Chains A and B, each alone.
Chain A
Amino acid sequence: MTDELDDLYQEIILDHNRRPANFRPMPDADRTVEADNPLCGDRLSLFLKLDGGRIADISFQGSGCAISVASASLLTERLKGATVAEAEALFGTMHAVLTGEHEPDPDRLGSLAALAGVRRYPMRVKCATLSWHALKAALGGEGAEDIVSTE
């Protein structure tokens, strides 16, 4: 990458798009959420396995643009082993960062800071938030299956 797009398509985003982490089905998931953005056709399933108050396993499947795939991949990488309370707090932080409410704090966000570039592209914000909305539904939902939609 050589040009002005560094802020959106950073190398870490491109890498996660090419080789997404935790990209697999989870037949014995405790929570499954289908999320889609009908406007762009992005569609993903987020799977969670819970052990007490902790996320024992997390994975996703689906198709979408580089931003939505990388966002989901980074999300699962970060949250495996985290507590539910930590995940809920991170949803709040990431939502505020991606929608431009808060400036990103690279020290706290780590690799997730790479997603912050999207806040300068209002038409693309929903690509990045899709998996985070799926996460919120998965954490809040008592039922095994749920459907969320951003558009």
Chain B
Amino acid sequence: MTLAAEIAAAGAAAPFSPRPWDLAAIRRDFPILDQRVNGAPLAYLDNAATAQKPAAVIDAIAELYRHDNANVHRAVHALAERATVAYEGARERVRGWINARSANEIVFLRGTTEAINLLAYALGGGWSAGERVVLTQMEHHANIVPWQLLRERAGIDIGVLPVSEAGELDVNALPALLERPTRLLALTHVSNVLGTINPIADIVRIAHEHGVPVLVDGAQAMAHQRVDVQALDCDYYCFSGHKMFGPTGIGVLYGKAERLAALPPWQGGGEMIRRVTFERVRFADPPQRFEAGTQDFAGAVGLATAIGYLDSLDRDALARHERDLLGYATERLDAIQGLSLIGRAADKAPLLSFLVDGVHAHDMGTLLDRKGVAVRTGHHCAMPLMDFYGVPATTRASLAFYNTRDEIDRLADAIDYARGVLA
């Protein structure tokens, strides 16, 4: 078999035959869920921060280090070939998962944050003072601060698309913001604070009508839905492995081939060049142009395994289960006196941010933890959004497909307990 054929075989999705939806069996796939915290069974409701890993992912990484570890793309010995096939097979697997046209459109990076920094650097290098990037009020700091750094370097402007009280983007305000000299629209697919799922395909169409390319931060989307970058028609899409049941340290930047081809490199080093003399250097084509130095190929294999795991699940049953959990959690929390939910978008991922009268979010976090319920508290790296709602901090329960109605009940009971302590 040729190397290319081996890579294609390594990256191919298994024939689709989802296993029957069995929540108890699915939970057993995630070893970490089976533990007690402060004397109570763990209810892990902090999935938007990082998702847990199925044993298949943990084992795949360990297996690679036990049997196939060698640096990719460099040597010609057997282990190097195996590692290269595994790494490039992972790229092909990611391509298929998001329906990119070519594996060359898949750049492996450390995560969403690094992908946005890469684009702010490589795209922004060609921008002039006064040109504009448009963001939204609901962005994570990862999609704000890299553009502010660019503003300091190059004097660009930053435009902001507003959100409504319910937590939905004001798409009607978009065309005015996209007028010249706007160079890019960069926005999140799913809000990490509100759960809002933005209508990306519609937004991309409007942006393209104005000749503006679109970068989508998919960090919060990948755990909940199948993303098709060709259907969205976005120019760039990025996400992190660890939020979709893969390992930390690996993430993906997708870019349309012609977009990536136009970008200069952003880090120099081994593996991103074609030829180097002391007089000049010729850079490699994408994706290698953006992968300087030894890459996290074990992470890439872990990510591909996570994709394989997600592929084995019944997507329709998973979506039904997540909708049921969100509906049930909304109902339970709405029934708690003094609790107000922030973010009531019609199209919403299973994530609930809330405030409780008389209980500061950090006291809430500590008190829920005493009952084994793990949530995030604070500003969620989205301070401009918190300012919009006029709150310093919220409590956020973010769900994954392995969560249960029983865990929602325990969350609601623990909130009552916290109110009792501080009342």
Contacts and interface: CB of A to CB of B under 8 A. Distances in A.
B422 interface: yes
A72 to B, nearest CB: 13
B38 A4 contact: yes
Contacts of B159: none
B367 interface: yes
Contacts of A14: 421-422
A124 B366 contact: yes
B31 interface: no
A121 B392 contact: no
Contacts of A89: none
Interface string A35-55: 000111111000000000000
Contacts of B70: none
B393 A41 contact: yes
Interface string B349-373: 0000000000011110011001000
A1 B421 contact: yes
* Chain B: number of interface residues, binned into ranges: 10 to 19
Nearest to A64: B360
A66 interface: yes
Nearest to A121: B366
Given A5-B370, A65-B363, A66-B360, A41 B386 contact: yes
Contact of A40 (B362, B367, B422): B362
Interface of B: 38, 360-363, 366-367, 370, 377-379, 383, 386, 391-393, 421-422
Interface string A1-36: 101110011000010010000000000000000000
Contacts of B421: 1, 5, 9, 14
Interface of A: 1, 3-5, 8-9, 14, 17, 38-43, 63-67, 121, 123-124, 127
A122 to B, nearest CB: 12
Nearest to A4: B370
Contacts of B422: 9, 14, 17, 66
A67 B38 CA distance: 20
Contacts of B378: 39-41
A64 B360 CA distance: 7
A8 B362 CA distance: 13
Contacts of B360: 63-66
Given A4-B38, A5-B421, A14-B421, A127 B370 contact: no
Contacts of A39: 378-379
Contacts of A121: 366
B354 to A, nearest CB: 15
Given A5-B367, A40-B378, A127 B392 contact: no
A40 B366 contact: no
B135 to A, nearest CB: 20
A14 to B, nearest CB: 7
A41 B355 CA distance: 13
Contacts of A64: 360
Contact of B363 (A3, A38, A43, A66): A66
14 contacts: A1-B421, A5-B367, A9-B367, A38-B383, A39-B378, A40-B377, A40-B392, A41-B391, A41-B392, A41-B393, A42-B392, A64-B360, A65-B360, A65-B363
A151 B361 CA distance: 16
Among A39, A66, A124, the most chain B Cβ lie within 10 Å of the Cβ of A66
The 9 closest A-B pairs by CB, nearest first: A41-B392, A65-B360, A65-B362, A41-B393, A66-B363, A65-B363, A40-B362, A40-B393, A40-B378
Contact of B392 (A4, A43, A123): A43
Q: Which among A17, A40, A64, A67 has the greatest number of chain B C-beta atoms within 10 A?
A: A40
Contacts of A41: 361, 378-379, 386, 391-393
A119 to B, nearest CB: 14
Contacts of A43: 392
Contact of B362 (A3, A4, A127): A127
Q: Which of A40, A42, A65, A124 has the largest number of chain B CB atoms within 10 A? A: A65
Nearest to A66: B363
A14 B421 CA distance: 8
A2 B370 CA distance: 13
A121 B38 CA distance: 13
B362 A124 contact: yes
Nearest to A1: B421
A84 B19 CA distance: 71
Contacts of A8: 366
A5 B392 CA distance: 25
B80 to A, nearest CB: 44
Contacts of B392: 40-43, 63
Nearest to B39: A4
Contacts of B362: 40, 65, 67, 124, 127
